[in-house]
Copies of this chain bind each other. A is one copy, B any other.
Amino acid sequence: MKKINIGIAGLGTVGRGVYEIITQQQDLLSLRTNLKFEISAVASRTKKDFVDPKIQFYHNILDLANDPQIDIIVEVMGGIDTAFELIECALKNGKKIVTANKALLATRGQEIQEMIDRYQGFIAFEASVAGANPVIKAFKEGFVANEISEVYGILNGTCNFILSKMKNEKQDYFVALKEAQKLGFAEADPTFDVEGNDTAHKIILLSSIASSSLPNYSQTHIEGINKITIEDINLADELGYKIKLLGVYKNLKNNIFLAVYPALIKIDEKISQVDGSYNAVLSKGNNFEYNLMIGRGAGGRPTGSAVVADIVDIACNRNNNFLFNAESINLNKPNIQKIDQRFGKYFIIFNFDKNIIKQNNVVEQIFNDRLKFLQCVFKDNQIGDNTITGAVLTDNHLEKEITETLQLIDKNLVSNIKFIRVEQTNF
């Protein structure tokens, strides 16, 4: 039986998952492939107890990339620069790469594509998006015969956990965040997750595959959940909506829409029912219509199992050679639509003093007929003063019209004006 030698760079949660799956499930993998998978070396800052001491250990990550025994390098160390160096060195040495590093691919995709071209190499990255959900495979292979026109992704388990906690247990943002940290669903420094960057990296990769283009991080509009309050969630709930952090991709005619933001979604749309730390990717294709994949988005074993799937594909020569779904010279260069050109519904939230504005006429007094509204809801603020929180759901408008209208509002009438976008997936 042919032996495949694997080197793992990084022994954190995912590295451990990969290690355990390969060592504990050798028979299963051999049954399904007629190959023998072996971990021949690992590299990490510190040695880890769970690793068999007979396995070669490297302190220096580049020693792993230079180990002539290794066929496939698994990069699960995270970070950007060192990971880039490792991958370059490994590709130069003719090794195949499996990575879970969405940040690296999304922010330095062009350089990585050039590197692949230079060394005629290959990088698989299933584990980088939606964990155990095989969405990269679905997008590149299963949906190959489809123009993908829309993607809505719940791609960050931390944020989805926090938003679900807030909604279901009426917890404040910071209470839910603390709970997420306690349970291991959020990092000690959660910035990267709650500000939307992680979701951005993932939707950018899906967008690249869907549009056969290089990742475009710098032009992607990114907002997180860190400004969402329990009041926002309750107001949305009153109108039958949940708030989810979404990565959104839309193939418009002359450009693409690509952004990350918290959005209201009707409770009867399937993606809004995905709660807790689960990930979901809803896509729309010209032939397959709607497809929704729900699965664990993080964790050592789920993500590790996606890494191992990539390893097996490479070992079976099933790898897809086109990183971003086309040969590099054929990659498209779509324009990303400016966020102020987004056309859609908006949920505008604001405070006002009930002594200044009469509640039977709020919308007209504040918005002066500048926007079309579908619904509104008002709540006493229960602080004991005269403040009322109001929220209105607009009809479809350009975002520019919304922001301009909000600027025109008399600030003596209302305070704390903000808006949350509304998405309608029709599924």
Give residues in A with beta carbon < 8 Å to B: 17, 21, 25, 28-29, 31-34, 126, 131-134, 137-138, 140-147, 212, 270, 273, 278, 285-296, 301-302, 304-306, 308-309, 312-313, 316-320, 322, 325-327, 330
Contacts and interface: CB of A to CB of B under 8 A. Distances in A.
A327 to B, nearest CB: 6
B31 A212 contact: yes
B32 A308 contact: no
Nearest to A296: B289
Interface of A is mostly: mixed
A308 B144 contact: yes
Contacts of A318: 141, 318-320
Nearest to A30: B330
A142 B309 contact: yes
B132 A291 contact: yes
Contacts of A143: 134, 305, 309
Contact of A316 (B28, B304, B320): B320
Contact of A137 (B132, B137, B317): B137
A305 B288 contact: yes
A291 B295 contact: yes
Q: Tell me how many chains of this kind the complex includes.
A: 2
A305 B137 contact: no
Contacts of A146: 305
A144 B304 CA distance: 11
Scoring A32, A320, A322 by chain B CB atoms within 10 A of each residue's CB, the highest score goes to A32
B287 A301 contact: yes
Given A290-B296, A301-B288, A313 B132 contact: no
A309 B28 contact: no
Contacts of A320: 316, 318
Contacts of A317: 317
B273 A302 contact: no
Nearest to A332: B31
B133 A306 contact: no
Contacts of A330: 31
B138 A289 contact: no
Contact of A17 (B32, B287, B301): B287
Contacts of A141: 134, 137, 309, 312-313, 318
